[in-house]
Amino acid sequence: MDVVRFETHPDRYKHWKLSFDGAVARLDLAVAEDGGLREGYRLKLNSYDLGVDIELADAIERIRFEHPEVRAVLITSLLDRVFCAGANIFMLGLSDHAFKVNFCKFTNETRLAIEDASAHSGLKFLAAINGICAGGGYELALACDEIDLVDDGNSTVSLPEVPLLGVLPGTGGLTRLVDKRKVRRDRADVFSTVAEGIKGRKAVEWGLVDALYPRSRFDEVIGSRMKELAALSDRPGEGVGIEWTTLGAERHETGVRYSAVTCEIDRPARNATITVSGPESDQPGTPEAILFAGAAYWPFRAFRELNDCLLDLRLNEPEIGTLLLRTEGDPAAVIAVDDVLHAHADHWLVREIVLYIKRTLKRLDLTARSVFAVIEPGSCFAGTLFELALAADRSYMLDDPGRPNTVRLSAMNGGAYPMSNGLSRLETRFLGEGEKVSRLLDEKGPFDPVSAEETGLVTFAPDDIDWEDDLRLAVEERIALSPDALTGMEANLRFAGPETMETKIFGRLTAWQNWIFQRPNAVGERGALKVYGRAGKRPRFDWRRT
């Protein structure tokens, strides 16, 4: 299996051109046909694979952190009369099931990062569709605040997956149509079954795009719209950011070591232990000092490393079924960092760091692995790092009177890092018990093992006699169960409470796409996804509805 890495740099981009003009950043797509992440397919018509989206994700983060002057982002194409044909069909046909699902998940997380930047960072996005826009290309446009289409008689938008491929749009297109753009259900039904797509005035009338401009004026009008969108932003519009540096991971056969995160993989036992270290020295106390510290600032650095670690496990270690989360360090040092983040939440850079931590924690929530938090003496499950324990499916806290062991809350546990359901992890844990959540946040702790178990902040608090056996049996029991059943069970249990567009995309879409990607109608010898593009080949369907 080819190893996938998620770090890149604009100097190494094969598919995107990132440029800046004052308050506007521009992302031009010009996919290198022979630049696929794997061999066996060509990325024609600006179709994309995971490598294209890794570059897009990197560019979005660099805009957010390195360029405070940017207030609006233009996404368009450098190809003549082609915006983006979506995910490369031949790549999907050649990929195994797990890769297809993780590809769709990462791609949608990137789309959600665009929407997060729009909702919370003051960045507005415009998709200037200057040619054919299909499937995942249109889903990328759907993530933007505005979609403008060239009126040339040929350019269309489409979601052709159902009629052409026998699968669903893979990154939330159906949900965004009706939930985000408020397209009528009957029109969305027609649109999603018309392979050739919809163009011109009808696309505007149906709400599929926002505006239509003739090719002769397209660039001029888009330039004006970008200035108008930039004027809506609350970003600084000037100054310097912090560099999106290389993480410098040290990889070895059984894991990886970063500066604040280590991951040790036990392949025979099918588990991995991730340890996050707290701050080792005094951390900056003002936004100016955080800017000076740059990429070395502990919460930014630690959660970048955790994010990379989670992605590495998702794509490159498919048989690792259980993650054991540990921390080490001084809880008071973590709380001190939280106090600074909370006090300066309105500063653009602090806001971006908090939002990045939120997105990393969401990636943990959405990772198809069992997650156990292991809380031992010397841990620093406090404040922001206690969110790791709240994200876990279970938490085990050692109760040894001879060795103090505590957990603590901070103001950052009160909603700074909402889950996909819009609730904090405390609110999700104690659903319908708002008074209890408020009381715990007022008390903050420290909570010893007995009080942590009594209040429900941890699942179990075994004493030192039972600790090793209880934890060992729990891990051994977990890896003996069906991975498919566990993935379904965990996804059902993690997102209690209200449903949002995001939970619909990951809950409904992931479940259905997971199923459809394994059905003969899609991936059998005569399945639509397998025979697409093969001369004289037509799909053969099992017509029974299931």
Tokens of 535: 């001369």
Q: Is 386 exposed, middle or buried (0-12, 13-18, 19+ CB in 10 A)?
A: buried
Buried b (16+ CB within 10 A) or exposed e, 483-502: beebbeebbeebbeeeebbb
pLDDT at 377 over 90: yes
**Residue type at position 267:** R
d(Cα 302, Cα 260) in Å, to the nearest integer? Answer: 5
Q: Which residue has the tokens 């050739």?
A: 196
- For the chain, what are the domain ranges? 10-230, 250-493
pLDDT at 268 over 80: yes
Q: Is 289 left (phi over 0), alpha (psi -120 to 50) or beta?
A: alpha
The pLDDT value given to residue 536: 77
The CATH-assigned architecture of domain 10-230 is Alpha-Beta Complex (3.90)
pLDDT tens-digit series, residues 110-124: 999 999 999 999 999
> How many CA atoms are closer than 13 Å to the CA of 191, on its beta-carbon side?
28
The pLDDT value given to residue 522: 85
The residue ranges of DSSP E strands in 78-220, in sequence order, are 81-84, 124-129, 131-134, 146-151, 156-158, 198-199, 211-214
Q: Of the ranges 41-45, 340-344, 463-467, 537-541, which one carries the lowest mean pLDDT score?
A: 537-541
pLDDT at 527 over 60: yes
Contact 143, 176 (CB under 8 A): yes
DSSP-assigned beta bridge partners for residue 209: none
The pLDDT value given to residue 543: 86
The pLDDT value given to residue 511: 77
- pLDDT band for position 1 (50/70/90)? low
d(Cα 273, Cα 252) in Å, to the nearest integer? Answer: 14
The pLDDT value given to residue 524: 86
Lateral strand order in the sheet of 156-158? 81-84, 131-134, 156-158, 198-199
DSSP 8-class letter at 40:
S
d(Cα 160, Cα 163) in Å, to the nearest integer? Answer: 6
Q: Which residue has the tokens 């069909």?
A: 89
Tokens of 126: 């415009």
pLDDT tens-digit series, residues 154-187: 999 999 999 998 888 888 999 999 999 999 999 9
pLDDT tens-digit series, residues 46-59: 999 999 999 999 99
The pLDDT value given to residue 118: 97
d(Cα 380, Cα 405) in Å, to the nearest integer? Answer: 9
pLDDT at 33 over 80: yes
Q: How many CB atoms lie within 10 A of CB 18?
A: 19
Selected from 2.40.30.10, 3.40.50.10210, 3.40.50.300, 3.90.226.10, the CATH number assigned to the domain covering 250-493 reads 3.90.226.10
The pLDDT value given to residue 542: 85
Contact 255, 263 (CB under 8 A): yes
Q: Of the ranges 313-322, 408-417, 522-531, which one carries the lowest mean pLDDT score?
A: 522-531
Share of the chain above pLDDT 70, in %: 100
Q: Would 10-230 and 250-493 be classified into the same CATH topology?
A: yes
The pLDDT value given to residue 508: 80
Q: How many CB atoms lie within 10 A of CB 58?
A: 21
What's the alpha-carbon Rg for the chain, to the nearest Å?
24
d(Cα 123, Cα 129) in Å, to the nearest integer? Answer: 19
pLDDT tens-digit series, residues 474-483: 999 999 999 9
Q: How many CB atoms lie within 10 A of CB 537?
A: 12
The pLDDT value given to residue 535: 77
Q: At 458, is the secondary structure helix, strand, or coil?
A: coil
Q: Could you please report the per-residue DSSP string of 387-437?
A: HHHHHSSEEEE-B-TTS---BB--GGGGTSS--TTSS-HHHHHTTT-HHHH
DSSP-assigned beta bridge partners for residue 374: 396
The pLDDT value given to residue 300: 98
Tokens of 388: 């790791």
d(Cα 435, Cα 152) in Å, to the nearest integer? Answer: 59
Share of the chain above pLDDT 90, in %: 86
Contact 125, 114 (CB under 8 A): yes
How much is the pTM?
0.95
For residues 104-111, average pLDDT: 94
